[in-house]
Amino acid sequence: MGSTPKRMCKWDKKHLKKDLEAFSESVSAPQYVCAKCIRVANSKKNLCDPQSLEG
């Protein structure tokens, strides 16, 4: 992900524009949601407080 923050919870518009491809890959098939900011991601490591979307 280059110089962008590791956790998507910290991403802002500037980071999104800079690395849209990495963002798209991270959210293409979400398995987790952040309980703090409600962002979704494929991997727990991309979120501050990941919770599984499956039951």
Q: How confident is the model at residue 22, as a pLDDT?
A: 87
Domain assignment of residue 1, yes or no: no
Supply the pTM of this predicted model.
Answer: 0.77
- Smallest Cα–Cα separation from 46: which of 2, 10, 20? 10
Domain assignment of residue 3, yes or no: no
Domain assignment of residue 16, yes or no: yes
Tell me the per-residue pLDDT of 3-24, one tens digit each, with 9 for 90 and over.
556 788 888 899 888 989 988 9
| Domain of 21, in residue numbers | 8-52
Domain assignment of residue 12, yes or no: yes
Residue 51, token pair as written in the block: 């919770």
Q: How many independent structural domains does the chain possess?
A: 1
32-34, strands of its sheet edge to edge: 40-41, 32-34, 50-52
DSSP, collapsed to helix, strand or coil, labels residue 16 as helix
Q: How confident is the model at residue 4, as a pLDDT?
A: 55
Q: How confident is the model at residue 1, as a pLDDT?
A: 47
CA 18, CA 23: separation in Å to the nearest integer? 10
Domain assignment of residue 2, yes or no: no
What average pLDDT does the structure give for the chain? 88
- What does DSSP say about strands 40-41 and 32-34: parallel, antiparallel, or unpaired? antiparallel
